[in-house]
Chains A and B, each alone.
Chain A
Amino acid sequence: MNPSQAVYKGMKRAGIDFATSVPCINLQDLLGLVESDPEIIHVPVTREEEGAGICAGAYMGGKKPALMMQNSGLGNCINALASLDELYEIPLLMIISHRGGKGETIVGQVPMGGRTPRLLDAMEIAWFAPSPAEAEDTVAQAWDEAEAGGRPAAVLLDIEFWRSE
């Protein structure tokens, strides 16, 4: 299974119909799939925190929202995940390109990359790291957990995930 297709199919199965994004090179195919889907409202944003806010508003308007970003953006939206989503019990599916691990060529990605799982743990946000074969199921399950718990859930997709077929 193509990794971008697998994530996209999981989002579709979950019923995601609203998405905000800040790009990552590894998300480019997924962003194209979402942008060209007439059933998903896609809003490119300037900063991940803004994306979390827009998703919260869309949820209250009846949508099922996702935020697609690089893990560096987790740091840019962490307050909103707690003081908006958790506070008001608003679900959010986060599709995160997880940089800074094996195969990383950009040294600047390493400091946040290594801490990303622990940041999510500290935020008490459920996170998943599927293989491409598992991704469709896992993405749909992550949304189900977010919706049932009224809080964000994250899918971390590392460099090896995007390189596999």
Chain B
Amino acid sequence: MMKRIEAIEAVAQEAEAQGALLIGNIGSPSRELYAVHDSPANFYMLGSMGLASSIGLGLALARPDRRIMALDGDGAVLMNLGTLATIADQAPENYLLVILDNGCYGSTGCQPTCTCQKADLAEIAKGAGIADVKTATTPEELRMAVRGTGAVVARVEVGNAEVPVIDLTPQEIRDRFMDGCARPSP
């Protein structure tokens, strides 16, 4: 297994190589993303747990000419499971949902989620109708998996890296992402 911050770095490097826009999940994942691979092409969620996959889907549908990736977690996906059915229904070819599954609510003290017992998010994603669902357990597997569409579920270790908080305001995050990357040029 890999540390989550290693997985985030691998996904972010691949996203950059693909010219993709990247939505970062609330809490420690966005902080780790900011620490290892900050970019104006990253949108850091500071609230609204559960909606990284939805923000990514909306952006993918609005910008069919751009590659979009969302970096999500098991707790957040469990909070918004309907998102998997909607992603399957819309099936945009330019969108990939990456779920980093550490089996716990990592930002709030590592309380266990249902994926550390019986729930299997890859099987749930398949059952929701997502045609292409891959799994990964190493950074190398993850780099290969994130070149496709649909969803990737990567098992990662429990634990947060020691990284600082994001010292950007919500407006700064939005403006550099939206005006610099996400919105079409006039």
Of the listed stretches A50-58, A101-109, A124-132, name the one at the interface; the rest are far from the partner chain: A50-58
Of the listed stretches B1-9, B11-19, B79-87, B131-139, name the one at the interface; the rest are far from the partner chain: B79-87
> Would you give the 0/1 interface string for B42-70, flagging 1 where the beta carbon is closer than 8 Å to chain A?
01011110110111111111110010000
Flag if A57 contacts B174 (CB, 8 Å): no
Partner of A83, one of B23, B47, B174, B182: B47
User: Would you give the shortest CB distance from B184 to chain A, in whole angstroms?
Assistant: 5
- Which residues does chain A contribute within 8 Å of B85, judged by CB atoms? 46
**A145 contacts the other chain (CB 8 A):** no
Flag if A57 contacts B59 (CB, 8 Å): yes
> Would you give the 0/1 interface string for A63-107, flagging 1 where the beta carbon is closer than 8 Å to chain B?
101000000000000011011100111100000000000000000
User: Would you give the shortest CB distance from A92 to chain B, in whole angstroms?
Assistant: 11
- Which residues does chain B contribute within 8 Å of A55, judged by CB atoms? 58
Flag if B80 contacts A49 (CB, 8 Å): yes
Flag if A50 contacts B51 (CB, 8 Å): yes
- Which residues does chain A contribute within 8 Å of B78, judged by CB atoms? none
Flag if A58 contacts B80 (CB, 8 Å): no
Flag if B170 contacts A87 (CB, 8 Å): yes
Flag if B57 contacts A57 (CB, 8 Å): yes
Q: What range describes how many residues of A lie at the interface?
A: 20 to 34
A87 nearest CB neighbor, chain B only: B170
User: Would you give the shortest CB distance from A113 to chain B, in whole angstroms?
Assistant: 24
Partner of B61, one of A18, A49, A90: A18
- Which residues does chain A contribute within 8 Å of B56, judged by CB atoms? 57
Flag if B170 contacts A49 (CB, 8 Å): no
Flag if B59 contacts A53 (CB, 8 Å): no
Flag if A90 contacts B62 (CB, 8 Å): no
- State whether A41 and B182 are in contact (beta carbons under 8 Å apart), knowing that A49-B80, A60-B177, A80-B51 are contacts in the complex: no
Flag if A62 contacts B80 (CB, 8 Å): no
- State whether A57 and B23 are in contact (beta carbons under 8 Å apart), knowing that A45-B86, A50-B86 are contacts in the complex: yes
Flag if A54 contacts B55 (CB, 8 Å): yes
User: What are the 3 tightest A-B residue pairs by CB atom distance, in nearest-first order?
Assistant: A83-B47, A46-B82, A57-B58
What are 22 sample pairs from A and B whose C-beta atoms fall under 8 A apart? A18-B61, A41-B62, A49-B51, A50-B51, A52-B48, A53-B54, A56-B51, A57-B23, A57-B54, A57-B60, A58-B58, A60-B174, A60-B177, A61-B182, A61-B184, A65-B58, A80-B51, A83-B48, A84-B48, A88-B170, A88-B173, A89-B174
